[in-house]
Amino acid sequence: MSNDQYLMTNNLSDIINKPVRTDLVIATRYVNLFYGDFQALKGITLEIFPNTVTALIGPSGCGKSTYLRLFNRMNDLIDGVKITGNIIVDGEDIYAPETDVVELRRKVGMVFQKPNPFPKSIFENVAYGLRVNGVNDKKFIQAKVEQSLVRSALWDEVKDKLKKSAFELSGGQQQRLCIARALAVEPSVVLMDEPASALDPISTAKIEELIYELKKNYTIIIVTHNMQQAGRVSDTTAFFYLGELIEYGDTKEIFTNPKDKKTQNYITGRFG
């Protein structure tokens, strides 16, 4: 990406000139994203603190997934995407030319909306990230796979059938396997895009519990459609509407005392 793409389209020199805080795990500064001519994100500035869960909420199509994909550069895979602004992870501008995208994606894990385990064994699914990152030590891989499955609260259910196909697991188990797979490479940030939307209530509850646990060791950003879920699992909440960040703050605050009318309408279910 060339340097001039970092130039702001709007005249917001105050934001540009403000030094970037490097203690933040994640921050975006005046980020615009275009799919061709369509602007999906409009000047999003946001700071996310370590070991918190941040919920991204908002009606369908408001740009939550698009925003989430900024942090592991998955938008790069889509033709015709143009991004301006700064996106900081671990104090580094991840869209700088010298960024190693592969390294970034190891550091910033992702769990997708629909469970997408590979058509491999349960063990190989979790080991995959290690293998592609050049880890060959069998003992280490074994230990790491077990640790990740324990952390994703799946170990007890699969420890006797690690060699079985991941497709034999239920949807909820598959999603926890995908979380284990992401954890195995020791990310510092985990992105989750509606991770429970395809699951039954019991599996959803398990995933939520898990998110709460994971917060101790990871910074989590989760997109959710479900207000109650956002209220239950997150510390901070960001409300998006038509590509704009309308309101961002403490989850309790947002849910009990939203400052913006649009936020209030959305939370009380008047649109969405």
Partner 1 sequence: MKTDRKLHLARQRKQVIAFNLFRILSITVVAILFIILSFIIFNGIKVISWEFLTAMPKEGMTKGGIFPAIVGTLCLISGSMLFAGPVGVLSAIYINEYTRDGVLKRFIKLMTNNLAGIPSIVFGLFGMSLFVNTLGFGDSIIAGSFTLGLLTLPVVIRTTEESLKSVPDSFRHGSYALGGTKLQTIRKVVLPIAFPNIITGLILSIGRVSGETAPILFTVAAYFLPKLPHSIFDQVMALPYHLYVISTSGTNITESRPMAYGTALVLIAIVLIVNISANGLRKYFGNKVKMN
Residue 124 binding: pick among Mg ion, partner 1, ligand ADP, none (C-beta 5-8 Å cut-off by kind): partner 1
Chain-centre distance for alpha carbon 88: 14
Our finding on whether 65 is near Mg ion (CB under 5 A) is yes
Task: Work out the burial of residue 100: count CB atoms within 10 Å of its CB; fewer than 13 is exposed, 13-18 middle, 19 or more buried.
Answer: exposed
Closest approach, Cβ 169 to partner 1, in A, equals 12
Instruction: Work out which of 131, 159, 161, 259 binds partner 1, going by CB under 8 A.
Output: 131
Written as six digits, the tokens of 78 are 């889509």
**Chain residue whose CB lies nearest Mg ion:** 65
d(CA 190, CA 215): 10
Start-to-end CA distance of the chain, whole Å, equals 35
Contact status, residue 183 vs residue 148, Cβ threshold 8 Å = yes
Q: Does 102 bind partner 1 (CB under 8 A)?
A: yes
**Residue ranges in 61-90 that form contacts with ligand ADP under rule CB under 6 A:** 61-66, 78
Footprint on residues 192-221 left by partner 1 (CB under 8 A): none
Q: Which helix (H) or strand (E) holds 67?
A: helix 64-68
Distance CA 102, CA 94 (A): 11
By CB under 8 A, residue 105 contacts partner 1: yes
Closest CB to partner 1 among residues 101, 143: 101
Least Å distance, CB 126 to Mg ion, is 26
Cβ proximity of 54 and 222 under 8 Å: yes
Query: Per rule CB under 8 A, is residue 175 in the interface with partner 1?
Result: no
Q: Is 176 in the site for partner 1 (CB under 8 A)?
A: no
CB of residue 183 vs partner 1: minimum separation in angstroms? 11
Contact partner, 74, from ligand ADP, Mg ion, partner 1, none, Cβ < 5-8 Å per class: partner 1
Chain position carrying tokens 């995208």: 101
Q: Does 13 bind ligand ADP (CB under 6 A)?
A: no
What does the DSSP 8-state code read for residue 84?
E
Cα distances (angstroms) measured from residue 78 to each of 31, 62, 83, 232, 238 = 17, 18, 12, 33, 24
Contacts with 61 (C-beta within 8 Å, 6 or more apart), sequence order: none
Q: Which residues bind partner 1 (CB under 8 A)?
A: 72, 74, 77, 79, 102-103, 105-106, 109-110, 112, 114, 116-121, 124, 128-129, 131-133, 163-165, 167, 178, 181-182, 185
Q: Which residues bind Mg ion (CB under 5 A)?
A: 65
Q: Which residues bind ligand ADP (CB under 6 A)?
A: 35, 38, 40, 58, 60-66, 78
